[in-house]
Structure 1
Amino acid sequence: MLPLVHNELYVEFNDEKQGPFYPAEGPIPFGKFRKHKKSSVELKADRIGELAKTISLPRSALSGINGSDQALLAQANIVQMEKPKSMPFDDSPFLQSTTFKNKLDAKTAIADYLGKPLSRLTDLQIVAINMILDETLDKKTVMDKIRAYFTLSSAGHSGGD
């Protein structure tokens, strides 16, 4: 007859049996839970959190001007200059390329314009797109021709897709 609880563990690998291995601690009684052991990263995070609670900065360090500095400036009749207003430089219109890098980028832009994947187009429409892209990769020219082609083909098309 086998015992109800086995405290021994054996490991078999490549026909070698190793063991017995015994539990490091006793069984946990039902309804009791062990506290999660914190990793070294969690311990460091806790220490940093405690440090952050104890460190305090004066308001002058955050505002950039100390109260005694203001008194000295007033005594010397020096007016504090305001920082000039600035606006971030938007370089996107200046550095945009006027041509597509390759046919794949052009086809991606065409699919975005049409609002559907090119695989849903007819063979005739795919041939027309390829002919346009064989001529040029200039963004304005390609998109103008695509707009013209698809407005003409949709105007001449009486049935549904």
Structure 2
Amino acid sequence: MTASEAAPRHLVFMGVSGSGKSTVGRAVQERLGWEFAEGDDFHPPENVAKMREGIALADADRWGWLESLAAWTAERDARGEPTIITCSALRRAYRDVLRRGGEGTFFVHSTGDKHMLLERMSARDHFMPPSLLESQLDTLEPLQPDEHGMDIDPALPVDRLAAMVLARLDLP
């Protein structure tokens, strides 16, 4: 574990739709008590409308959304408050924007096989239709070795995943 990982101040649960990032992020939030933000809540209405219609977002649609998440984190960082956010953060460039929110940002990438992801997406009531999963998978750039983060397998029980994240970061 690197020094940056030993004392994270901001956790970003990332991954494509249906990967369980919000569920695991909430489980970790319940244990730590850190302020939590659901990235979907930061999307402007135009983005939500596009996704509902099965239209994949372009980079131009994402930058403002990512900047608003980074600003939310930066406000709390300035007060010394740790945060947890959920955000697809599919590309490294998107993660770079989120890192601007504060030092000590650690990414938890919830992976998963396509079949499981499609099943999960089909079983929930969400504006993101299963038809957009392929475009998300095409866009996804996995975490690189120089990025502070870890991968988790969303097929495992949520409590186990939360415990794995906390153990990796040496958090209670």
The normalised TM-score by structure 1 is 0.19
Relative to total residues, which structure has the larger strand share, 1 or 2? 2
- RCO (CA 8 Å, sep 6+): is it higher in 1 or 2? 2
The normalised TM-score by structure 2 is 0.19
